[in-house]
């Protein structure tokens, strides 16, 4: 029988964080992290199949039903620190991770920084962030400064129906996504506004990163992971267009890599049962 979910909220010192929970408290403790501009509903299709797992899927700050950070408050390490505060609130000294895209990158940062606290890490079509070298830092910072100045002039779109917001997500996303998958994410990502609907998402999340890891920085986090680590790569996902990224992934011999036909949101689309089966086997193997 599929596992049902319920809502959860965390009143952290600096922000309110929302999430969804599947499973029973006695199961393997797992914190699940969604991708950029998505939310906890990204795990709706796979979480009910993960028997023996107590899965807490977060709306990361700025996303879904969670609060927004103060000005210029978003970074991979800030988001990772919030995840750690959630674990503290849950009383979890050690826990496992499940991340998609940006959530997978955050998982890699946490698992590489605090290897003694991470039981295992499963990543879906994501592992390391976009990188740039030191000489690019001034240009990257300039992009960030200029974008912050323009942020106040931008207004969120307002849709007169949820269906139009779903269409906007399908047509305007950074990666292809099916309508059903978009609908699951949009439902949690909208709020009423001026007689219609607009995004709950913090506009600051659209700002470019002020700083990026170098390749060496990014690799060092993954190299420092000691917990069992499973990576599910989408054959038609974001990485298949970047052979140099795939080559870097292949160099990490301590990762177990599964390649699955599907797009970037494969865990929320047709390959979802296959992804769920891989993750179920992975988490079961830990016991």
- 247-252: list long-range contacts, CB under 8 Å, 24+ apart: 248/128, 248/215, 248/219, 249/127, 252/222, 252/223
**Catalytic-labelled residue, pool 101, 107, 132, 161:** 101
Q: What does the pLDDT average to over 172-188?
A: 92
Give residue 2's pLDDT.
Answer: 67
How many other C-beta atoms lie within 10 A of the C-beta of residue 226? 11
pLDDT tens for 91-126 read 999 999 999 999 999 999 999 999 999 999 999 999
Give residue 133's pLDDT.
Answer: 94
Give residue 173's pLDDT.
Answer: 75
Number of domains in the chain: 1
DSSP the chain: -PPPEEEEEEE-SS-EEEEEEES-TTSEEEEEE--TT--GGGGTTTGGG-TTEEEEEE--TTSTTS---STT---HHHHHHHHHHHHHHHT-SSEEEEEETHHHHHHHHHHHH-GGGEEEEEEES--S-----GGGHHHHHHHHHHHHHHHTT-----BSSHHHHHHHHHHH-SS---HHHHHHHHHHHEEEETTEEEE-S-GGGGSPPS----HHHHHHHHHT--S-EEEEEETTSSSTT-HHHHHHHHT-TTEEEEEESS-TTGGGSTTHHHHHHHHHHHHHTT-
Q: Is residue 122 part of a domain?
A: yes
pTM score of the predicted model: 0.96
Q: Is residue 175 part of a domain?
A: no
Q: How confident is the model at residue 162 (pLDDT cuts 50, 70, 90)?
A: very high
Q: How confident is the model at residue 172 (pLDDT cuts 50, 70, 90)?
A: confident
The CATH number for 265's domain is: 3.40.50.1820
Q: Is residue 209 part of a domain?
A: no
pLDDT tens for 26-44 read 999 999 999 999 999 999 9
Give residue 132's pLDDT.
Answer: 92
Q: Is residue 47 part of a domain?
A: yes
Q: Is residue 68 part of a domain?
A: yes
Q: Is residue 181 part of a domain?
A: no
Q: What does the pLDDT average to over 145-160?
A: 90
Give residue 242's pLDDT.
Answer: 75
What is the domain range of residue 59?
A: 5-132+214-284
Active site residue 4: no
């Amino acid at each position: 029988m599929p596992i049902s979910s319920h809502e959860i909220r965390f009143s952290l010192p600096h922000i309110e964080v929302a999430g969804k929970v599947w499973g029973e408290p006695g199961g393997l403790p797992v914190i699940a992290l969604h991708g950029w501009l998505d939310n906890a509903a990204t795990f709706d299709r796979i979480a009910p199949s993960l028997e023996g797992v107590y899965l807490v899927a977060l709306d990361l700050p700025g996303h879904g039903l969670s609060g927004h950070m103060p000005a210029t408050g978003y970074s991979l390490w800030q988001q990772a620190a919030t995840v750690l505060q959630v674990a503290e609130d849950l009383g979890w000294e050690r826990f496992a991770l499940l991340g998609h895209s940006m959530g997978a990158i955050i998982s890699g940062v946490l698992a590489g920084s605090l290897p003694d606290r991470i039981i295992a890490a499963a990543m879906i079509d994501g592992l390391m962030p976009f990188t740039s070298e030191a000489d690019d830092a001034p240009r990257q910072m300039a992009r960030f400064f200029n974008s912050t100045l323009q942020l106040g002039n931008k207004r969120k779109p307002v849709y007169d129906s949820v269906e139009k917001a779903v269409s906007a997500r399908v047509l305007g996303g950074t990666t292809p996504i099916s309508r059903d998958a978009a609908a699951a994410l949009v439902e949690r990502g909208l709020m009423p506004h001026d007689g219609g609907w607009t995004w709950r998402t913090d506009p600051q999340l659209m700002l470019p990163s002020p700083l990026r890891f170098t390749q060496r920085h990014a690799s060092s986090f993954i190299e420092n992971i000691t917990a069992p680590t499973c990576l599910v790569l989408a054959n038609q996902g974001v990485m298949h267009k970047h052979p140099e990224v795939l080559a870097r992934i292949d160099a990490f011999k301590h990762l177990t890599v599964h390649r699955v036909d599907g797009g970037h949101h494969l865990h929320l689309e047709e390959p979802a049962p296959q992804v769920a089966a891989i993750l179920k086997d992975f988490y079961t193997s830990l016991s």
